Amino acid sequence: MTRHRILQKGRLLPQLESALAQAYDVHVLDPEQDNSAWLAEHGHEFVGLTASARYGADRALIDALPNLRVISSFGVGYEAIDVARARERGIPVGYTPDVLNDCVADTAFGLVIDVARRFSAADRFTRRGDWLKGQYPLATQVSGKKLGILGMGRIGRVIARRASGFDMQVRYHNRRELPDSPFGYEATLKGLASWADFLVVASAGGPETRKLVDAGVLQALGPEGFLVNISRGSVIDEAALLDALQQGRIAGAGLDVFEKEPQVPEAFFKLDNVVLLPHVASATRETRQAMADLVVENLRCFFAQGSVKVAVP
């Protein structure tokens, strides 16, 4: 039996690449290159496409694959995939939600604690030998404080659960109030920001949430308030955030994501009130393996029974 031909956009975990190569006839596409001429010649060969939250799949790529039947993406965010175009063509899009909730929520809390208690900055202080010269300045308590969550989705709910271990009050803002949530709803993001000691961004990316956290929201968060982002850099007005951090208009920020990854504006490097992570919220062996397994399982289910295991809504 001939094996299904799959186009793999960008490199994936080695064990995922091996699993795919075992089951399918895979060609790896380098996303940094112009592949249009190659695709014009070979695009018709592929029935499957693996994408990722990082590399996505735009309309041009989907249309360059006239026989495409399924997309399987590594990641929960799918704003870089033209899902509408896939839907028009009747192509299901599999993705990997839920399996990363715990690690992403852990990271959100790691950043909350780090930025408030200034652990990363204190580590730099110790390494510089500054402890020999005097005590490290006092930081801010986390337990018992108010945690505002922008985006009470799958990940937001797990972050809220973590907060109970720290005796924190939780409120949230979403486009709509959730009928079944035990947490208080703030009708506006500004309202949530002015209530919260910590504002954690856990919403999806894409055009609908672009720059939701703007200068006004940061102003509402105020000089004692901390911002944490484990969602997408696009949700925050990065220039306004930089300005607020430089001027002390908010107390600090913990950021795992940025507007133009992997580029982080150098001005952030000079600030001690910001913790900067290289988009690692889901990056543990356990979680990345679970995501990889789901990428394979989505394809397996599709070719066995015509639908992926977990499809984007």
Give the shortest CB-234-to-ligand 8YV separation in angstroms: 12
41 is an active site residue? no
Closest CA to 253 of 164, 121, 159, 146: 121
List the interface residues with ligand 8YV, window 275-294 (CB under 6 A). 282
Strands 93-94 and 274-276: unpaired
Out of 4, 42, 44, 54, which residue is the one contacting ligand 8YV (CB under 6 A)?
54
Candidates 51-59, 139-147, 171-179, 237-245 — which segment interacts with ligand 8YV by CB under 6 A?
51-59
Q: Does 53 bind ligand 8YV (CB under 6 A)?
A: yes
The nearest distance, CB 282 to ligand 8YV, in angstroms, is: 3
Per the annotation, the verdict on 300 as an active-site residue is no
| Shortest Cβ 279–ligand 8YV spacing (Å) | 6
Q: Which of 94, 111, 132, 104 is nearest to 6 (CA)?
A: 94
> Which residues ranging from 97 to 116 are in contact with ligand 8YV (CB under 6 A)?
100
Marked catalytic residue, from 118, 157, 173, 279:
279
The yes-or-no answer on residue 44 being catalytic is: no
Q: Is residue 151 part of the contact set for ligand 8YV (CB under 6 A)? A: no
Residue partners of 277: CB distance under 8 A and separation at least 6: 107, 111, 254, 255, 256
DSSP symbols for 159-175: HHHHHHTTT-EEEEE-S
- In the complex, least distance from residue 27 CB atom to ligand 8YV, rounded to whole angstroms: 19
Smallest gap from Cβ 37 to ligand 8YV, in A, equals 26
**117 contributes a contact to ligand 8YV by CB under 6 A:** no
Sheet with 226-229: strands ordered across? 184-185, 169-173, 146-150, 198-201, 226-229, 252-255, 274-276
Query: Is 52 among the residues that bind ligand 8YV (CB under 6 A)?
Result: yes
User: Which one is catalytic: 261, 286, 288, 300?
Assistant: 261
The DSSP code for 209 is: G
Q: How far apart are CA 180 and CA 186, in angstroms?
A: 15
What CA–CA distances, in Å, run from 51 to 66, 96, 196, 238? 17, 11, 37, 27
Site for ligand 8YV in 70-89 (CB under 6 A): 74-77
- Binding residues for ligand 8YV, rule CB under 6 A, total 9
Catalytic residue among 232, 259, 297, 300: 232
Q: Which ranges of 53-148 does DSSP label H, i.e. alpha helix? A: 59-63, 83-88, 101-117, 119-127
Token pair of 267, please?
Answer: 């001005």
Closest approach of ligand 8YV to the CB of residue 235, in Å: 12
Q: If you ran DSSP here, which 8-state letter would residue 30 be given? A: -
Q: Which residues are catalytic?
A: 232, 261, 279
Query: Which residue ranges make up the site for ligand 8YV (CB under 6 A)?
Result: 52-54, 74-77, 100, 282
